[in-house]
Structure 1
Amino acid sequence: MALDLGARWDKKFQQWMASRIPPRESVTLDRKIIYIIPSSNGLMFVVAAGLVFIAAINYAVSLAFGLAFLMVSIFILAILHCFNNLNQLTFTGLASRAVFAGEQATFRVKITRSPTRKHEALHLNFPGENSSHADLFINDQVEVDVFAAASKRGYFKAPLLKTTTYYPLGLCRAWSVLDLNLRCLVYPKPIPFVMSQFNIGSGGTDDSAIIKEGSEDFYGLRDYVPGDSMRQVAWKNVARGQGMQVKQFVDYVDNKVWLDWDMFYGFNTEERLSRLCYCILKLSKQDKPFGMKIPGSEIPPDTGPEHKKKLLRTLALFGVE
């Protein structure tokens, strides 16, 4: 119960923060958006300084006064250095690659420092996720990957990004919350199944057509076999003394594979999309043309990485655009 209340409170707090922070692709930190408070170690340090000061008053020990003032000075300097470790840093959101639902989405953030300062012990994370570490000593900029769980297909907008530092002594915690307008495309989660049960990808090796016996196109002649229709006999050849031969007719059947929405009758929308996604991944490895038909979209057969991306993108955005 307490965990549920905490999760709901955290969600409402994130929504409140998001309403106050406008999305921007690049943000430079300054005193208006940097927050700083004592850490747990810092509070203990302040309490210790207070106790030393009280002892100095009670026992009139000048050395204790000096120690108390030294501790206060260290704490004040820690505040200034902790603040300056974030001040004037510029954060820029970069492009993110697509992932499948249930995977960790990777968002790349570029951090640029001012020429006159060095920054270290920076931590970047989304709420509830592990932190990524960054230092800027030699290079003026660095790129950091920050991770967030992508649970649903479609466009996934990253949560608010928090950057934190405890530099230099861990006595203070300075942080800022940013919305870099980061997002990535999330494909449906592929569900493995036996494709042959649905007659998928079971055609021949020819890229365009297979041939079966039929009645559409003349294919050639073969020797007469008892039981053949007399109407198919090439009588002109018989008249020329070439023996009994039978005309062969064939039908050409398109061998390009089509993935069809109706193949998975009885499954709900997300299950159909997940199975189609699995088919796309498997058929792309065979380098054979295949297309897809789903409600509102028909993509003709083709091959290659771009065709694969187009198909997966269509599935990811089905019903959400």
Structure 2
Amino acid sequence: MKNPFRNRFSRWINRRIPRSDLQIFSQKNIFILPTGAGVVFGLLLVIMLLTGINYQNSLIYLSTFLLGAVFVGAMHQTHRNLSGLELTLVHPGEGYAGDDIPFRFRLKAGRDDAIAILLSCEESGLAPVHLHSGQAQDVTLPVHSAHRGYLRPDRVRIETRFPFGLLKAWSWVRPVSAGVVFPRPVPAPEAFSTVEDGEESAEARSVEGNDHADIRPWREGDLSQRVLWKRYARTGQMVVADWEGEQGGPYWLDFNAYPGADHELRLSYLAYLVNERGRSGVRFGLNLPGQIIEPDSGPAHAARCLRVLATWGEERPRDAMAEPHGTRKKERETTSEWVAEGQA
């Protein structure tokens, strides 16, 4: 059961801190409260004050007021530690489902030094960062991923407890940009593509009788038709023949080649094959329902195919609170009024 108070508090925070890849912290978006040690310290001050009143002891008064001044000074210093600080999302990361996706942020101090700054997201966090006035530093925050698709943290928390740990000042940044999570690679069974290569494939098949071939050891994912079974029967070594004429013929990675598997498992199969083809440097194309990546080779092509597999069927995250409720309706009514006045 959802907590209505927590939901209202979350909506209030989202209105106060809109989504942005750049956040400058000020009095409008910095929150400060005593820590557990600060609460105990405050209770001790109250007890000391009551004791001083009861016994009319000037030394207890002096100690109480001095420690109270220290508490107030710590409150101002803790707040100033975040005030003027800039936090920018430089680059949302990429990775595989189940791994930690690196998000690179840039911290830049304002007019004051920023000491013992902590950056965290859910269960992951970074070591304290110290910045001198005007200094900038890049940090990488790992964000855990569970499924493929777009990954955008709802909130990244920034916090400080300097100087005495009696108070904590914190705020959040709510990024707009999203990282990309690739499908988790799963070794793919042997399958045959349903894509017709057309003239290019016919040209490749026409030279299969060429005697000039490159013999290499068998790698997982190679088709059984390429294995030299006679040599395997003689020597026990499983080798594959790469014909010269096949260098121009693309090998299609086809979504429809695995009819018995669900969609996510097919994407994991294809991610595994993309990695295999990318490492071997062979030319291949990717066929997905509604989207085709033309044959190519190289690391850039493999990375593009992985991004397509990650975002296939997914919508890029959008901020649900971009406009207050009823804004578009009011705009339409105002526009209709203007049009009616113009016609009159």
2:158 partner amino acid: T
Runs of 4+ in 1 over 6 A off after TM superposition: 8-12
CA RMSD of aligned residues (A): 2.7
- Aligned-pair CA distance for 1:128: 3.6
C-alpha distance in 1, partners of 2:208/2:102? 50
2:25 is equivalent to residue 32 of structure 1: no
1:62 aligned partner = 58
| Aligned residue number for residue 281 of structure 2 | 287
Letter in 1 for 2:171: S
The equivalent of 1:142 in structure 2 is: 137
| Whole-Å separation in 1 of the counterparts to 2:86 and 2:119 | 13
TM-score, normalised relative to structure 1: 0.76
Deviates more, 1:12-21 or 1:56-65: 12-21
Inter-partner Cα distance in structure 1 for 2:39 and 2:306: 52
Q: Secondary structure at the match of 2:23?
A: strand
Q: Write 1 or 2 for the structure with the bigger share of strand.
A: 1
Name the structure 2 match of 1:264.
258
Change (3 A) 1:154 1:16: farther
Instruction: Measure the CA separation in 2 of the matches of 1:13 and 1:284.
Output: 48
State whether residues 209 and 256 of structure 1, in contact with CA within 8 Å, keep that contact through their aligned partners in structure 2: no
1:232 matched residue in structure 2: none
Structure 1: gaps spanning 5 or more residues: 201-206, 218-251
In the comparison of the two structures, how many residue pairs are matched? 271
Among 170, 175, 184, which residue is 2:179 paired with?
Answer: 184
Amino acid at match of 1:71: L
CA distance in 2, matches of 1:11, 1:271: 35
Contact 1:49/1:71 (8 A) holds in 2: yes
Determine if the alignment matches structure 1 residue 126 to structure 2 residue 110: no
State the percentage of identical aligned residues: 27
CA contact (8 A) 2:155 2:173 kept: yes
Structure 1 residue 299 displacement after superposition: 2.0
Cα separation, 2, equivalents of 1:199 and 1:28: 54
What is the identity, as a one-letter code, of the residue corresponding to 1:91? L
Q: Residues 11 and 125 (structure 1 numbering): CA distance in 2 closer, same or farther, change over 3 Å?
A: farther
CA shift, 1:64, in A, is 1.4
Q: Distance in 1 between matches of 2:22 and 2:286?
A: 39
**Counterpart pick for 2:160 among 162, 165, 177:** 165
User: How many angstroms does 1:192 deviate by?
Assistant: 2.5
Q: Larger % of helix: which? A: 2
1:32 corresponds to which letter in structure 2?
K
CA deviation profile, 1:236-274 (whole Å, cap 9, x unmatched): xxxxxxxxxxxxxxxx77753211112211001000001
> Partner letter of residue 198 of structure 1?
A
Q: Give the aligned residue type for 2:293.
A: I
Among residues 250, 270, 294, which one is paired with 1:276 in the alignment? 270
User: CA separation in 2, counterparts of 1:274 and 1:11?
Assistant: 36
Classify 1:20/1:124 alpha carbon distance in 2 versus 1 (closer, same or farther; 3 Å).
same
- In 1, Cα distance between equivalents of 2:8 and 2:47: 39
- 40, 48, 56: which one pairs with 1:52? 48
Aligned pairs (5 A) from 1:44-123: 44-114=40-110, 116-123=111-118
Q: For 1:178-217, list aligned pairs within 5 A.
A: 178-193=173-188, 195=189, 197-198=190-191, 209=204, 211-212=207-208
- Counterpart amino acid of residue 96 in structure 1: P
Is 2:174 the counterpart of 1:174? no
Structure 2 counterpart SS, 1:94: strand
- Map of 1:224 onto structure 2: none
SS class of match (1:88): coil
**CA–CA distance in structure 1, aligned partners of residues 5 and 276 of structure 2:** 43
